[in-house]
A and B are shown apart, each in its own frame.
Chain A
Amino acid sequence: MNLIGKNITYKPDNQFHLNDVSFDFKKGNLYTILGRTLSGKTTFLKTIAGLLNPDTGELFFEDKDFSKIPVWERNVAMVYQQFINYPHLNVYENIIFPLKQRKLSEEQIKMDVEDALKTVGLVGFENRKIQELSGGQQQRVALARSLAKKAKILLLDEPLVNLDYKLREQLREEFKRIFSEGLSQDTILIYSTTDPQEVMELNGEVIVLHEGRVLQKGDAKEIFENPKNLKVAEISNDPPMNILTGSKSSDQLTFENISINLPAYLKDLKSQNYYFGIRASEIKLDKEGEEFEIELAEISGSETLLHLKKGNSKVIALIEEVMNFKIHEKVKVKFNANKFYVFNNNEELVSSPYGAHNG
């Protein structure tokens, strides 16, 4: 009764959009697909919807061969990152469109639409034209249309990416509520995004996609605590995890020109060269710390992002308050020694602050 994909590959013009992707999605669950732009997220969702036919691989849903069923009979719903609604119809007509297509009874349609409008908070907007709505409202209409359908598979392709910061925050909060209230246990929800924070907040099963390949599967906590390799660590953190090359000796971690006392959890690590990863939020201003030069200071919301440089080492630090810095100013920062991820020369995780991984 699950949605199962086996070894799905899609490579038009000899470029991999999906490369040997397999999955097993269970009903009633939320799956998030995390990946950069062009990592194949949209292709992944379109393949499930049936808009694209993979070159090889199999797709099953409820024990039926899904690839034999055309899109319009698949009972899926999809919300695009662009706000796609039918411009010639008003809000109400937009939402009933798929229901009328399925020839549901008048009363049923009326009830479903009212429910959907309530869920997305657009009651009273029924007769508005789509062009009169703001971007956020347009996206709500698209969401209402896909919710009203009560489809068994609901696909959301970066639904928040084209909204401004404030609306995104607000809708993200509402999504959590909608997903917990508005969905039946019969639905598989697949949500794609580039934003690690969204993944953490939605807290579903995560699939990390890069260049059409699944890099890691697991729940949000697992991805956060044990990123399987350097790429996952980069993709699943915003700003990307700082990666420093360095070596481990018996009592120290040494990067190019920085030394740090060996934290206890890395004691058993073989002494050799490694990649060390540390999150931007684990680098703090500290008068006792190492001196870095500021290359760039960005203020976003209530945080300040510092791009720092020392010799050839470049790191990004996330300061949780708004501060004014001058470019080329020198600051002292300290790395939280207990939060280093260690990757070997094959870029695979060997040790994580949340418990040793592959030894």
Chain B
Amino acid sequence: MHKLYTFLKYTFITLWTVFIVAPFLWAISTSFKDFQSVNSKVTYIPWLDFEPTLEGWRVLVKSPARGGVDIVEPYFNSIFVTCTASLISIILGTLAAYALSRFTFKAGFVRNNDITFFFISQRIMPPIVLSIPFFIFLSTIGLLDSLLGLVVVYIVLLMPIAVWIMVDFFNRVPKELDETALIDGCNPYQAFYKVVLPNSIPGLIVAGMFCIIFGWIDFFFAFILTFTEVQLLPVKVVALNSSITPWWSLSASALISVAPLIIVAFVVERYLSKGNLSGALK
């Protein structure tokens, strides 16, 4: 019985690993192929099945004038927009979440939970509902087709996530901890940044990770709110597609698109496995 269980467990894990890893291997292999190797017969292993070439990768850094699709600038644009928006969202979201967790607000029928729900409701709405208002808003203030405009929009998208995660986190930090800090001579601001914040690092990391992921993978708003001046990576990757689908450079761009997320995941996983995310407060 036990053996059967072990067998099934490892079989499942193996299948799942193949399911996850295979597309990456396929993409890596494809990114080194040329037109011939993709379109003639099925090929898998470089040097054995086909002669590897760097053409797929070169296209990504060549300027359009020389027949390439330059994704270097969109890549850094994406990093800038995602990081800036995430950082601002985390700062504002954490402050909002702390207030919602610790103070009682009363305005008419509105209570703390209603405010929290208001934030979350921003994510319940399908994004397409927001597209026209955002477009009009950005064109009115003259931020259409600019990095700053995108940062503003992404803050609207990411801050609810930060608020949501951090409210839940702060609710689990005992109120007595703040009170002890007050009694020990901290004013409310000091109590927040000297005591509550250092004990909330795990929550901040989780919230930050979600913000980065959701910011990085957004295609919809990056597509609608930019034209020629500024482009983000997901939009540019789609622009790679032409009359002949260049599978090799699509694979290469897909790989470098997910690279930052994989790096983030590995860093956080290190931290997780050390047991630092849990057990800070018990």
Contacts and interface: CB of A to CB of B under 8 A. Distances in A.
A78 interface: yes
A140 to B, nearest CB: 15
Contacts of B281: 87
Contact of A88 (B184, B199, B282): B199
Q: Which of B174, B180, B187: most chain A CB closer than 10 A? A: B180
B198 to A, nearest CB: 4
Contact of A149 (B176, B177, B184, B199): B184
Given A80-B176, A82-B174, A88 B280 contact: yes
B269 interface: no
A106 to B, nearest CB: 17
Given A78-B179, A84-B180, A131-B279, 17 more contacts: A51-B179, A71-B183, A72-B190, A77-B184, A78-B180, A80-B180, A84-B176, A87-B199, A87-B280, A87-B282, A98-B183, A98-B184, A98-B185, A101-B185, A101-B186, A101-B190, A145-B184
A51 B176 CA distance: 10
A97 B174 CA distance: 18
Contacts of A97: 184
Interface in A106-156: 131, 145, 149
Interface string B164-195: 00000000001011011111111100100001
Q: Which of A76, A77, A87, A102: most chain B CB closer than 10 A? A: A87
6 shortest A-B CB distances, which residue pairs?
A: A101-B185, A98-B184, A88-B198, A71-B182, A84-B176, A84-B180
Nearest to A101: B185
Given A82-B174, A84-B176, A77 B183 contact: yes
22 contacts: A49-B179, A51-B179, A51-B182, A72-B184, A72-B185, A72-B186, A76-B183, A77-B184, A78-B179, A78-B183, A80-B180, A82-B176, A84-B176, A86-B177, A87-B199, A98-B183, A98-B184, A98-B185, A101-B185, A101-B190, A131-B279, A131-B282
B281 to A, nearest CB: 5
A85 to B, nearest CB: 8
A70 interface: yes
Contacts of B187: 70, 72
Contacts of A46: 179
Given A87-B199, A87-B281, A131-B282, A102 B185 contact: yes
A84 B177 contact: yes
Interface in B185-221: 185-187, 190, 195, 198-199
A86 B195 contact: yes
Contacts, number: 60
Interface of A: 46, 49, 51, 70-74, 76-78, 80, 82, 84, 86-88, 97-98, 101-102, 131, 145, 149
Contacts of A88: 195, 198-199, 280
Contacts of B185: 72-73, 98, 101-102
A86 B181 CA distance: 9
Q: Which of A46, A71, A97: most chain B CB closer than 10 A? A: A71
Contacts of B279: 131
Interface of B: 174, 176-177, 179-187, 190, 195, 198-199, 279-282
A41 to B, nearest CB: 15
Contacts of B186: 72, 101
Nearest to B185: A101
B183 A49 contact: yes
Nearest to B279: A131
A2 to B, nearest CB: 21
Contacts of B174: 82, 84
Contacts of A82: 174, 176
A346 B179 CA distance: 41
Contacts of A70: 187
A70 B281 CA distance: 27
A97 B186 CA distance: 10
Contacts of A77: 183-184
A131 to B, nearest CB: 6
A341 to B, nearest CB: 39
Contacts of B282: 87, 131
B260 to A, nearest CB: 29
Nearest to B173: A87
Given A84-B176, A87-B281, A88-B199, A101 B184 contact: yes
Nearest to A102: B185
Nearest to A149: B184
B199 A86 contact: yes
B182 A72 contact: yes
A97 B194 CA distance: 10
Nearest to A142: B180
Contacts of A78: 179-180, 183
A253 B190 CA distance: 65
B176 to A, nearest CB: 5
Contacts of A73: 185
B169 to A, nearest CB: 14
A71 B191 CA distance: 12
Contacts of B199: 86-88
A338 B177 CA distance: 50
Contacts of A102: 185
Contacts of B182: 51, 71-72
